[in-house]
């Protein structure tokens, strides 16, 4: 896929998301409300069979995780979609990111389909509600998106971040030291077990309930997640973020993360924490998934918008409303 596809329509996409979900200066266009937590990660021996990536060779390394609400309104209640953005801090000063959702799939499988979905949902007038009739017409004509929306509507809401499985909606190419390539999706699986609740019950709670619960939990004990690879088989769609793979695909645990305490952008030395999922390191490569490709441009536009970019101060400015 051409390199400039990473920036195709990025400004247009961010502007339309804000028109639909609201424009909240200083916040991300999506997953606007989030909090950072710190801990460590250590890969196990199985990881080296699949990748030569330096952070997956067995040494313990620092990580941060940004848990977040779905949506663009930082003041809204939690819903059934939450996010988990993990940053690994490499010994040479670089970082690499791993971005996941509590949902298994994205809502479009191409840039044009995503823009079409946004166009369908644009309010009839500034500040108005999303165009539900337009969305209904779009989904009728795009059954892959309709299936994802239906799946999300039927999914339970979290009771705790510590009891939520998170999923990479994108497939990546994992390359070993022997140059063997494996196509796989990633999952963070909570060691404490998976639990959920009806979304309506969560909306009855305080808007920060999942953060408060996690911080109370961390004050008592660490929270652990296993990093799991789901291995593709021949014929599985590897560049379609709206397509599930068949049940029963082999899963391999390749490491464990331990979260220990809250953190902040100030702690990391990075006032923006732009969790671009294409910030990778040797041994993990992107596929030709067009939604994965466009995310770099969208994340950069959103980061510059909320922080003032270079005009806001040191790289991408300051402030912690993220």
**With contact defined as beta carbons under 8 Å apart, do 308 and 317 qualify?**
yes
Distance of CA 137 to the CA centre of its chain: 28
What token pair was written down for 164? 């939520």
299 marked as part of a ligand binding site: yes
- The residue from 31, 163, 170, 187 that is catalytic is 31
Q: What is the CA radius of gyration of the chain?
A: 19
Residue 153, helix vs strand vs coil: helix
- Strand 196-197 to 157-158 pairing: antiparallel
Q: Which residue has the tokens 């993220």?
A: 322
Q: At what angle do helices 111-121 and 132-141 cross, to 10 degrees?
A: 150
- The CA distance from 181 to 173, in Å, is 6
CB 46 within 8 A of CB 252: yes
Determine the 3-state secondary structure of 297 from DSSP.
helix
What's the chain's length in residues? 322
Helix (H, G, I), strand (E, B) or coil at 227: strand
Q: Is 31 a catalytic residue?
A: yes
Tokens of 115: 């823009």
Looking at the chain, list the stretches that DSSP marks H as alpha helix, in order from N- to C-terminal side.
Answer: 10-21, 47-50, 111-121, 132-141, 143-154, 199-203, 209-220, 265-268, 290-307
Q: Which residues are catalytic?
A: 31
Q: Which residues are annotated as a binding site?
A: 299
Q: Which residues are annotated as a binding site for heme?
A: 299
């Amino acid at each position: 896929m051409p390199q400039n596809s990473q920036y195709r329509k990025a400004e247009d996409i961010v502007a339309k998301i804000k028109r639909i979900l609201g424009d909240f200066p200083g916040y991300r266009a999506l997953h606007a409300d989030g909090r950072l937590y710190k801990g460590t990660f250590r890969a196990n021996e199985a990881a080296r069979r699949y990748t030569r990536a330096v952070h997956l060779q067995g040494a313990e390394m620092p990580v941060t995780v940004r848990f977040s609400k779905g949506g663009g309104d930082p003041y809204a209640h939690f819903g059934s979609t939450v996010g988990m953005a993990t940053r690994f801090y490499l010994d040479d000063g670089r970082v690499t990111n791993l971005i996941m959702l509590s949902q298994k799939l994205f809502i479009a499988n191409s840039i044009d389909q995503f823009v079409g979905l946004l166009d369908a949902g644009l309010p009839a007038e500034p500040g108005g509600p999303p165009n539900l009739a337009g969305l209904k017409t779009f989904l009728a004509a795009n059954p892959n998106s309709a299936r994802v929306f239906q799946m999300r509507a039927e999914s339970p809401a979290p009771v705790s971040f510590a009891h939520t499985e998170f999923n990479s909606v994108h497939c990546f190419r994992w390359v070993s030291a022997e140059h063997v390539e494996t196509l796989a999706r990633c999952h963070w699986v909570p060691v404490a077990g998976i639990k959920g609740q009806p979304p309506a019950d969560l909306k009855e709670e305080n808007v920060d309930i999942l953060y408060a619960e996690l911080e109370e939990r961390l004050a008592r004990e660490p929270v652990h997640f296993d990093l799991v690879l789901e291995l593709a088989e021949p014929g599985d769609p590897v560049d379609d973020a709206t397509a599930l793979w068949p049940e029963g695909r082999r899963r391999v645990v390749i490491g464990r993360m331990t979260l220990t305490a809250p953190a902040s952008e100030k702690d990391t030395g990075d006032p923006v924490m732009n969790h671009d999922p294409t910030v990778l390191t040797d041994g993990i490569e992107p596929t030709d998934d067009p939604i994965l490709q466009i995310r770099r441009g969208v994340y950069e536009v959103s980061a510059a918008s909320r922080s003032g970019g270079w005009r806001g101060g040191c790289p991408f400015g300051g402030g912690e409303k993220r």
